[in-house]
Structure 1
């Protein structure tokens, strides 16, 4: 999540950045459908086709991570995996660095994928099976992947980043304890080319689209990809699935998802043992990102920002429930 000061809608900024790409003039009318979280996302039209612009402040991202993300996406496209496609700028660059009155930004553009978000479907067995199959295929391709020029950061780098953030919050003793516990646990967890590699990390219902025409899934938003155990992706997907599934149906839908996964890749028989620890990693990472994003506060904040702060405060409390408990 970006710092809160970057969450304000800025159509002039979006238009300035978009001019690095070709686009239809009426595109600005679509800017009202913007979304800002880990990046600013503004939809636009080029030659009648729907695309989206993604940008974020240079201070909020690591250039090497973005370039590694774009390389991985290119690799997946080359393997005919259903994934969003990057659009080069007018100068032929997939990643553009833009100097603006609001500072320097990294920007990329992507084609819209077909289908609709799984979160907007009926979660039929066919769709859930395809959802799991898509993740299994991703992990298989990741297990065969060797970065060409740039490498994404790992869970260890993420823990290092979290420790740096928490240094500015000396009262966060339980979060520090949680980091120590997770480091110790992961240091002893078996790691191999079969169970560890580059994961999506946010393989959730709103980042996976199901296309009725091809009966297959398309994946977007690799912004949080990292090297981790593949089980981390499974945990994130199942946690997201649980949010949209009645309690009495979840075990059946979970098995349907895993059955789809197994058509493409194997997972550990001890998966259920590891998933709760991966959930704790996700909770800790989310917790620290909220801490980072909310460090600044201003007088007379707009109502939407005040409401957001309240939601984020509640999220902090929920994510910290298991901090410091033995693993």
Structure 2
């Protein structure tokens, strides 16, 4: 009996495992389950690739900064070793800078300036730059959004009416030949004298936003037009065969096709809006932003050259930040569009 029971138990155990294996096999053979697992695996691979890409780009950027700092320090050390006897070297028609601390502050002093507290201030320098960067970012963001709307409106008009494109596009291109530093004070003065018709009080930073808009709308208009015209003729014929109207064709065909071109323009426009805001602050005397900070440090250059370098680095970091924000939005939107197309 014991042997029989043990034999029975041993005989029943393989049957139980066989049933479990059969269930797993049946579950695996289910097309819906298989498709779900494939999607999960694809999503995991996408997340892993995204992490690897971010890490690689971060390491590349850090290495680039290190090489740049190394070249700066190496050139400074070489110049000081020869006592700047060759300060009149000509390189492509220009003269190499002297390597004394006034012309080229040490890298350590430049970065150390971020943690210093300037005279008459109760905050460290990096906090001062951060607050002023937020002020400049507000100006640039307002100009960026208005430039985006104006640029896309121009692109839609040029894409819809061929004659308008032939007549207006040359003037859109020619508008960028006007020196920004020349028109910035004019825009600020106009804002103070003539923009009191609005229901709100016009402030100088709003005029600076107009200057940022001036640099923003152009790449959006040109690249947006190219993107709207990018669909192939057979795709347009397919929409016509569905009797799709202009709005439906725009929403389902032209705008999705224009996204790669549009985001390429937005990266340029975002950084250009920062440049426009800083230049507007410098040339018009608007207080509170990085432009005015750079101008103030330039006046005090002989007593603190490292502080001017630090403020310029702060402006560069702000430009890199807005570029990364647009890049992140691009990956979110375009990536979702690609996943929807493959689903």
TM-score range, shorter chain: under 0.3
Please, what TM-score do these two structures have when normalized by structure 1?
A: 0.22
- Greater helix fraction, Structure 1 or Structure 2: 2
Given the two structures, how large is their TM-score scaled by the length of structure 2?
0.21
The structure that has the greater radius of gyration is 2
Q: Which structure is higher in strand share?
A: 1
